[in-house]
Amino acid sequence: MLTPATTGGSPDRHRLVVLFGGVSAEHDVSCVTAAHVLAAADRDRFDIVPIGITREGVWTRNDAAIAAMAEQRALPDHLEPVGTALQPLAAVSEGDLPVVVLPLLHGPHGEDGTVQGMLELAGVPYVGSGVLSSAVCMDKAMAKVVTAQAGIPQCRWLEYRDGVGDRAELEARAIAELRAPLFVKPANLGSSVGISKAHDAAELTAAIDLALTYDEVVVLEEAVTGREIEVAVLGNEAPEASLPGEVLPGAEFYDYADKYLNGTAGLQIPAKLTDDEIAEVRALAVSAFTAMRCSGMARADFFYEEDGRGWLLNEVNTIPGFTPSSMYPKMWEATDLPYRDLIDRLVDLALARHRRRSGFSTSH
């Protein structure tokens, strides 16, 4: 157990360990985010220590490597690893400041509860959701089960786990019940990686094959025709929702290139909705956050079928895109919470959650 120090500096000053990069397909996105956070965080309050995780999973504090990752350049040849799990955290905790970790890792091995589990074992406070919430939000199938139980509306869907049950039968059922076109997604991923829109039975088979190269569980969904509205949620036990924003996809759907490469997706913040619609979607976002037992931050993404079923939850992201031009910070900015203050709030929430959990009895 690492013991955060309590002496030295101002009482509010912390060592903010920013974890970024990572082995997931969202490595690049994470590096861009980290560069922005490092530039924006309040240096009076935080001593910032970036720890980069290379695509190969090497944890590094090498300055040249960190700069290269943040600027998307090639890494230096001889990289001095600082270990793969607790050692780097132990090293940064040896100083005179209490540590708080900001995991800016998207997708598997970052947003899915694995890193959160390691931080729990290390006993350090960290920004965002805990192990269970992170894992459930990351798994698109489990997330649907939990939010359906809480009465949150969503589209029709089916799940397929590789090797479990008759795949041909499932494919026929999907076409009959969900109707083409359908969306096929690996259960555990993000940034639209591995997702396809299948327009007929042959494309469905190919789409499942592709999704199964990313995960053993695949989610099949009816294609919803609706607006894409997102809400930023911030808090622990009493979360608050931002004004909603709207994504206007430039491609057939909001895919990886659209999100990160082409810059073709337009963002409309706040979304053009009536006051009643805004109140509804904010309340649903808070319900989703609570149902999923989120902490700190999450972005709840909805479809809005204006002349149909109304609001349908698509997903809850526990580590949403976090550059200053990403939806999550921009929606808070539109709700009068600027980027730098948002980072402060997230750290405060991490510390509060840690204090609360540290107080639980372990005796019987």
Ligand X SMILES: Nc1ncnc2c1ncn2[C@@H]1O[C@H](COP(=O)(O)OP(=O)(O)O)[C@@H](O)[C@H]1O
94 is annotated as an active-site residue: no
Report d(CA 131, CA 120) in Å as an integer. 8
- Which residue in 60, 314, 323, 326 binds ligand X (CB under 6 A)? 314
- Which residue in 26, 171, 221, 333 binds ligand X (CB under 6 A)? 221
> What mask, x for binding ligand X by CB under 6 A, covers residues 270 to 309?
-------------------------------x--------
| 275-296 burial code (b ≥16 CB/10 A, e <16) | eebbebbbebbbbbbebbebbb
β-bridge partners, 239: none
> CB-wise, 195 or 319, nearer to ligand X?
195
Say whether residue 224 binds ligand X (CB under 6 A): yes
* 221 known member of a binding site: yes
Q: How far is the CB of 190 from ligand X (least distance, A)?
A: 4
Q: Which of 248, 323, 315 is nearest to 284 (CA)?
A: 315
The residue annotated as part of the active site, out of 30, 134, 191, 295, is 191
Say whether residue 59 binds ligand X (CB under 6 A): no
Closest-approach residue to ligand X (CB): 254
- Which residue in 27, 36, 144, 185 binds ligand X (CB under 6 A)? 185
Question: Which residues from 147-166 bind ligand X, rule CB under 6 A?
Answer: 155
Q: Is the CB of residue 324 less than 8 Å from the CB of residue 311?
A: no
Q: With the CA atoms of 262, 255, 70 and 97 taken in that order, what torsion angle do they form, in degrees rounded to the nearest 10?
A: 140
Helix, strand, coil in percent for the chain, rounding step 5: 35, 25, 40
Say whether residue 215 binds ligand X (CB under 6 A): no
Report d(CA 297, CA 234) in Å as an integer. 5
Q: Is the CB of residue 37 less than 8 Å from the CB of residue 121?
A: no
- Which residue in 20, 46, 214, 254 binds ligand X (CB under 6 A)? 254
> CB-wise, 16 or 187, nearer to ligand X?
187
* Helices and strands in the chain: count of H runs, count of E runs: 12, 14
Integer CA distances (angstroms), 50 to 53, 143, 218, in order: 10, 31, 34
User: Site size for ligand X, by CB under 6 A?
Assistant: 17
Q: How far is the CB of 301 from ligand X (least distance, A)?
A: 6
Question: Which residues from 337-356 bind ligand X, rule CB under 6 A?
Answer: none
Q: Is the CB of residue 215 less than 8 Å from the CB of residue 187?
A: yes
Residues that bind ligand X (CB under 6 A): 155, 183, 185, 190-192, 195, 221, 223-224, 228, 249, 253-254, 301, 314-315
Catalytic residues: 26, 191, 326
Which residues line the annotated binding site for ATP? 140, 183-185, 191-192, 221-228, 314-315
